[in-house]
Structures are given as structure tokens and as C-alpha cells.
Amino acid sequence: MTRTTVVVATRNRADELARTLHQLSTIDSKPPVIVLDNGSTDDTFEIAASFEQVRVIRSPQNHGAAARNQGVIAAQTPYVAFSDDDSWWAPDALRRAEELFDAHPSLGLLTGRTLVGPEEREDPITPALANSPLGTPPDAPGPLVLGFLACSAIVRRSAFLEVGGFSPMLHFGAEEQLLSYDLAASGWQLCYAEDVVAHHHPSRSRPSPGWRQRAEARNQLLIGWQRRPADVCAAQLRRLLARARREPSLLAALAAAAVRLPQAVARRRVLPAAIERQARLTEG
């Protein structure tokens, strides 16, 4: 019996979701799958519900990345793997991840090797994770990291729930960064594992690069205001203003962050010094 549930958040990508659910059904251990339908207006619910071992949780609203939280709460296994509606896990990935979690009780999150498209090229983040400047402690299963791709991450359910999961304030874009900080600040290890493989076939139905750039710029400011020292926050703001002179559309990111500033300040909890040093090291 598998001890890992796969959680998939989706919105209006029924055909791609069907491909993902089919691929997940070929995993050796036949894991349960929870699909979070983020207010879809197509036939996402009907397609997802047609698969065995799939539970669908519908929402009338789009909760973004934070929809995954509901899936983790609903899961009844000690480990939870995230997939996007355009990604899935290799057949042996979850079994290998369970072995690593079992052997390393301080491991809170495992991020795997991400292969992109039919040609299976490595995602650019993969070598960065594999060569993390944080090194590999003797009690860790791989290099320590302070960031990950959600579509190739597996969490210890108790650790995820302990820190509150993905932030609803961020909605989408760089949401993994804040979760990384919170897990590390709570004493959990985040590690990269070469032999835990996820496949990502990027959807053609995606927000524009400009939209994503603005969302990530907004969220980096919000994350900084919540967790980083004042000098880092000031430097982030200066860099964004400098970029906005060349790309005026980024001013929208600053305006959107300013609207959420009271929420961010109310949640401010500066990282412990050791984790802040790790953050600066990974940022170069």
C-alpha cells in the first residue's frame, strides 16, 4: 500500500488533466489522487471523477496555489506529492521518496529531478538544486535546498500542516519560496534527490510571460516583507524600481504588493539568523 497521496490543483485544463491522471494511474503503488478544481468552467470535474482512486474537491473560486492546502488536509497518508495538471511522477518515484522520508525523520520536503517535454531535458532548476551551495549534511539524503518546483516536490504531511502550507496571499508565482523558508525555519530539512523523477510537459494554456513576471515580482516583495530583514527588503524594492524604469509594466507588481502590504506586515516573522545566511548564500 502506498503511503503517499498525489495532490493536483487545476483550472480549465480538462484534456491535460486527463493525460496527467492517466500517467499517475501507471505508478507502481497506485496512489490515491486528490484533484482540487479551482473554479473550472469546462468538464474538469467530470473527467477527473471518471478515474478510479481520484477524489475531486470542487471550489467555485480560484484559490491559486493555496488550493493544494485543502488537498493535503484531506489526504490520509503521511506523505503528499504535488503534481500540476501538466506534470506527473515516474513510476518508481513515490516509492523511492517514501524510503528516504522513512530513513530521515528530519526531512520535511523532497524535491526531485524534473524532466521537461517528450525529449526529457532537465529543467534549468535541476542542476541548481543538485549543486546547491548549502551542501549535504551527514544526516540528509541529498543536498540541502531552499527552493523547489511544486510539480516535483513531496512533503511530509505533518511538516506541511505545521507551517501552514502555501500562502493564500501569494495566490500564484514564487509561492514555493515562502514555504521553503517556513519549513527550514521550523527545523525541517529540504533536500534534492536525483533518483526521484517528475515529468513536466508544459501546458500551452498558460498565462503570458509578462503576467507571470509581474506575479513573481509582486510575491518576492511580499515574501521579503514577511520573512527577510529590512536591508534585504530595501534592496528588493530598489531592484524592482530599477527594472520598472526599463519595463514600466512592473509598476503594476509594485502597486499590487502595496495593497497587500498590511497583510504581509501582520504576518512578519523574520527568519532565524542561520536560515537567513542560507537564503543569502543561495542568492549568491
109-148 per-position pLDDT tens digit:
999 999 999 999 999 999 999 999 999 999 999 999 999 9
- Whether 105 and 22 map to the same domain: the answer is yes
Taking all residues of the chain, what is their mean pLDDT, rounded to a whole number?
Answer: 96
What separation in angstroms does the CA of 209 have from each of 132, 184, 249, 262? Answer: 27, 30, 12, 28
- Whether 19 and 131 map to the same domain: the answer is yes
Work out the burial of residue 273: count CB atoms within 10 Å of its CB; fewer than 13 is exposed, 13-18 middle, 19 or more buried.
exposed
Evaluate if residue 1 carries a pLDDT over 80: no
- Tabulate helix, strand, coil % of the chain (nearest 5): 45, 20, 35
- Whether 25 and 121 map to the same domain: the answer is yes
pLDDT computed for residue 206 by the predictor: 83
Evaluate if residue 8 carries a pLDDT over 90: yes
- Whether 189 and 215 map to the same domain: the answer is no
- Whether 179 and 233 map to the same domain: the answer is no
What separation in angstroms does the CA of 127 have from each of 86, 113, 115, 248, 269? Answer: 21, 9, 12, 32, 31
**C-beta atoms surrounding 39 within 10 Å:** 14
Pairing state between β 189-200 and 87-89: antiparallel
pLDDT computed for residue 215 by the predictor: 95
pLDDT computed for residue 2 by the predictor: 86
- Whether 39 and 13 map to the same domain: the answer is yes
- Whether 237 and 194 map to the same domain: the answer is no
Q: In which domain, by residue range, is 213 found? A: 209-282
Work out the burial of residue 91: count CB atoms within 10 Å of its CB; fewer than 13 is exposed, 13-18 middle, 19 or more buried.
middle
Evaluate if residue 91 carries a pLDDT over 80: yes
pLDDT confidence tier of residue 98, bands split at 50, 70 and 90: very high
- Of residues 205 and 274, the one with the higher pLDDT is 274
- Whether 161 and 236 map to the same domain: the answer is no
- Whether 34 and 126 map to the same domain: the answer is yes
Which of helix, strand or coil describes residue 115? strand
- Whether 145 and 69 map to the same domain: the answer is yes
Residue type for position 54: V
pLDDT confidence tier of residue 157, bands split at 50, 70 and 90: very high
Residues 15-34: pLDDT tens digits? Answer: 999 999 999 999 988 999 99
Measured distance CA(11)–CA(28) in Å, rounded: 27
- Whether 228 and 167 map to the same domain: the answer is no
* Closest among 167, 183, 161 to 226, alpha carbons compared: 167
